[in-house]
Structures are given as structure tokens and as C-alpha cells.
Amino acid sequence: MSGKYLVTGGAGYVGSVVARHLVEAGHSVTVLDDLSTGFREAVPAGAEFIEGRIQEAARWLDASYDAVLHFAAFSQVGESVARPEKYWSNNVGGTMALLDAMRAAGVRTLVFSSTAATYGEPASALLTEADPTAPTSPYGASKLAVDHMITGEAAAHGLAAVSLRYFNVAGAYGSCGERHDPESHLIPLLLQVALGERESISVFGDDYPTPDGTCVRDYIHVADLAEAHLLALAAATAGEHLICNLGNGNGFSVREVVETVRKVTGHPVPEVIAGRRPGDPAVLVASAARAHERLGWQPSRADLEGIVADAWDFARRGHGRENPDD
């Protein structure tokens, strides 16, 4: 059955890929995005676009919508440390306004982009949703605050809600891919080196207690992630706030990712060993058991080489600007 969905932040990386999946599945999609970090051309063909802020969502939300998929947020960890007020205002204040607008319009289903950053320093090798949440940045804290807000909204007002806690999202889907400014994610940074836009990659720490001394992270293909959102819409239950980690359950070290980028691009990708960054845990890997069990989600693109190849294809074609409709 086709539905009508509001996708906040649908001009950004993850939101545009999910919006595209929804359009391809035959749903009616409206993207609400203020283009603060997003790109108009990332909004997929077939979706309606509103240039506006989630703080004013009440202007556009009405009872004709079946659900909101909420991606709009600021997400630079370093910036959040320097300017925490910007993160509290947009991520928490903006979501409060969105929840108010949803309640007023009678839109009672929400899928929210939460993050592994809500956990902070991991207490176990394979993180489950039962692990303690102790974020180490205002960004992570703002996302955790929203998770708490949603739990209250579900309990008090019957919202059907799913928070998906993404680990490291990577790869591309057709003309939708990753371009943050400034870029802070490892794979696009490495691809900038391969494209000649950056001289080398900094490896932050090679003395961690991991097999090759570099940090280990869980990379999940953005298209696998998108599929989880469609499953979450179906699984959402009135009065329940379901929280699911989304990762492959496999860790890859920074060094393994660098080697994979060298192999895929054929570029030597020089590396510079830099000191550890404060707050960077040695290993961050998801247990996705709950997402398998509750959403029926199964990633099909877990192979690192495939993830890098898709991201490389997107980066080489001018970050989606060359063939916007392919």
C-alpha cells in the first residue's frame, strides 16, 4: 500500500537516499529541507520539495501525511564541541517543534535518525541497545535528548516511533551520495585524496589495542540503511518507541579502509600518522540483532570493497551533479 511521507533533511546524504527508495517503492514523498548543509539537486525526481525549516513544520504538516522520516539535523561532532548551542537549538529545539506539529496535525508515526554517538565510550565490543548511553559530544547528547523526547511522546501521546542508531554510513545510491562540507568521514576524505583534492589522509592513532593499531568501525551501506527505514515504517507500533542499532556487526580498521580505497581507486593515497583524537574509542561495532529480529532487516551490501566502489563511482562523477537522474 502506498503512503504519503514527509522527509525532513531529504536534500542531505542519508535523507536523499531514503527519499529515493520511497519514491521507487511508489510512495508520495515531500522533502522539507532548509539546504543549510543539503543540496537541492540531491532531492530525487518524483519528490515534492519544500525549502523550509523543521522549526516551521506546522506550516506544511497536515493529516494527509502517514508518517515523518526525520533526518534534518546538524551532525559535525567537532563543531558541536565548539558551538554546542547551535546543536541544542537545531537538533533538539527543531525536533520539539516538529513533534508539536505532528501532534497538532494528527500525524502519529515517526522514524528518527539517531546515532552510535549516543553511546559514547563503548562498554562492550559489540554494542547493543541495552548498553549505557554516555555521549562524549554535544552532538551525541543532542541526539540522545531527542530519543528521550520521543520516548515520552510515545508513552504520553501514543506516537508510533522508531529510532535507528546508525553506525558509520557509507557508499552511494545512484546519483545520491555523501558530500559534507567540511567533510569529516573517512571514506569520502580518502576519495578526495584519490581525486587529487587533498594531499594525504591523517590516520588518528596507530597505537590502539586493535590488530593493526588503528581504530575499528562498522561501515554500513547507505542503501541497506535506507531499506531499514522502509521496514521501520511498517514495524512502528502506536505507543512504542523502538530503538534499533544499524550496522553490519563487522569492524574494519582505518588501515583496512585505506588499503581498500587504494585497491578500488588505484591511487597510492599517502597517509600521515597523527595523534589520537580525544573521545575516539578504539572499537565501535554494532550488534544489529534487534534490527534483524524486530524489523526483519538483513544487510545485503556488507562487503567493504563494494561500499567503497559505490562511493568512488559517485565521487568520480562529480558528486551527483553530472547525471542527476540516473
Ligand X SMILES: NC(=O)c1ccc[n+]([C@@H]2O[C@H](COP(=O)([O-])OP(=O)(O)OC[C@H]3O[C@@H](n4cnc5c(N)ncnc54)[C@H](O)[C@@H]3O)[C@@H](O)[C@H]2O)c1
Q: Residue 168 or residue 214: which is nearer to ligand X going by CB? A: 168
Residues 6+ apart with CB under 8 A from 321: 41
By CB under 6 A, the residues from 80 to 139 that bind ligand X are 90, 94, 113, 115
| Alpha-carbon gap, residue 122 to 116, rounded angstroms | 9
| Alpha-carbon gap, residue 65 to 109, rounded angstroms | 9
User: For residue 130, how many C-alpha atoms fall within 13 Å in the half-sphere facing its CB?
Assistant: 2
Please answer whether residues 165 and 118 qualify as being in contact, where contact means their C-beta atoms are separated by less than 8 angstroms.
Answer: yes
Out of 33, 153, 224, 271, the only residue in the binding site for ligand X (CB under 6 A) is 33
Does residue 53 bind ligand X (CB under 6 A)? yes
Amino acid identity, residue 258?
V
Instruction: Return the DSSP state at 134.
Output: B
Does residue 54 bind ligand X (CB under 6 A)? yes
Residue 131 CB, nearest approach to ligand X (Å): 16
Residue 106 CB, nearest approach to ligand X (Å): 22
Alpha-carbon Rg for the chain, nearest whole angstrom, is 19
Does residue 147 bind ligand X (CB under 6 A)? no
Residue 166 CB, nearest approach to ligand X (Å): 4
Q: Is 139 a catalytic residue?
A: yes
Q: Which of 13, 87, 119, 139 is catalytic?
A: 139
Q: Coil, strand, or helix at residue 45? A: coil
Q: Residue 36 or residue 298: which is nearer to ligand X going by CB? A: 36
- Could you give the C-alpha distances from 102 to 13, 56, 70, 143, 187, in angstroms and in order? 24, 11, 12, 19, 36
Q: Residue 182 or residue 196: which is nearer to ligand X going by CB? A: 182
Please answer whether residues 25 and 234 qualify as being in contact, where contact means their C-beta atoms are separated by less than 8 angstroms.
Answer: no
Does residue 15 bind ligand X (CB under 6 A)? yes
Q: Residue 309 or residue 311: which is nearer to ligand X going by CB? A: 311
Among all residues, which ones are annotated catalytic? 139
Chain residues in the site for ligand X (CB under 6 A): 8-9, 11-15, 32-38, 53-55, 71-73, 75, 90, 94, 113, 115, 166, 168-169, 180
